[in-house]
Amino acid sequence: MSSTPPWNVRRLPAADGRVFLVTGGNAGIGYFVAEQLSATGATVVLGSRSPAKAEAATASIRARVPGARVRAVRLDLADLPSLETAVASMGVERLDAVVHNAGVALDDPPREETADGHELMFGTNHLGHFALTRWLMPLLSAAPAARVVTMGSFAAKSERLDLDDPQSRRDYQPKRAYGRSKLAQMYFGVELDRRLRAAGSPVVSVIAHPGGALDSLTPSRPPIHVRTTGARLGAAPAALLVQGKHAGAWPAVRAVLDPAVRGGQLWGPRVFGLRGEPRREPVWNHLADPGVAARLWEASCALTGVDFRTVIPV
């Protein structure tokens, strides 16, 4: 018989004294990851491009979580040269977990680029987190058992990477480019864990996805998110298949906190991978291809100009 109690999304284990960073923690799923982690007693740092939005999110969390230890750092994943400075500005001696949640999703053409010349979704969602992880590694390595939790997407399950055109220069389709950017993130999470294990690091890498998470099923957190009665009623049938963003946060929160979670695992919603409490699920077949993961890693090093060998010597 196990002495570990069943996982309860509404009764999370205490994490006093630990420090967590949530990218994109000012809105959407990232906000709810931050709110839920704040309730554990941990210090939660919101990474956000907008100081005003981060301030609103911080105030909302403090109003709902008495005594919450939450603050913000300016973080723009589309601006690669700024990331080293952003990490230094956090002012912490160690980091127990980072949740790579922030992301850009475009629905319509034309193709857009970051200031560094990368396709906006691939550059922000994948390359930004890739580079950020390199600068965070000294802080993560200073913790006794840190975790890198990468939030992928169910949309990535049906996609495949084109490593001859990772930035969609030849044939840009926004929804496909988004799915591939999230798939690249997930490959990164798997390959990062493999390299950490080979280097004997105590840091582990875990991937998660939120399933189907809709604004219309998400409880209000004004001014971060306001759900109207009409939206709530109109979305009621969808609740049979998908869920709100508060529930979409559950797999990432469990990946941060559950002592039973191990590196290289994938966590998602229990019901068809779309809704429900978080559970471990098999790593998708295409994510288990080490050749693709290794090629993506080398391409990402070249595109970002970061050198992981100084922090993960393999």
Q: Please list the active-site residues.
A: 178
Q: What is the 3-state secondary structure (H, E, C) of 192-256?
A: HHHHHHHCCCCCEEEEECCCCEEHHHCCCECCCECCCHHHHHHCHHHHHCCEEHHHHCHHHHHHH
Terminal-to-terminal C-alpha distance of the chain: 39
> Residue 262 is which amino acid?
R
- Please compute, for residue 152, the number of CA atoms within 13 A of its CA located in the half-sphere on the CB side: 32
* CA 102/CA 271 separation, integer angstroms: 24
Residue with tokens 């966590």: 267
> Residue 63 — φ and ψ, nearest 5°?
-70, -30
52 Cβ contact list (under 8 Å, min separation 6): none
Instruction: Specify the pairing of strand 69-74 against strand 97-100.
Output: unpaired
Report how far residue 198's alpha carbon sits from residue 305's, in angstroms, rounded to the nearest whole number.
23
Helix or strand run (H / E) with residue 300: helix 290-304
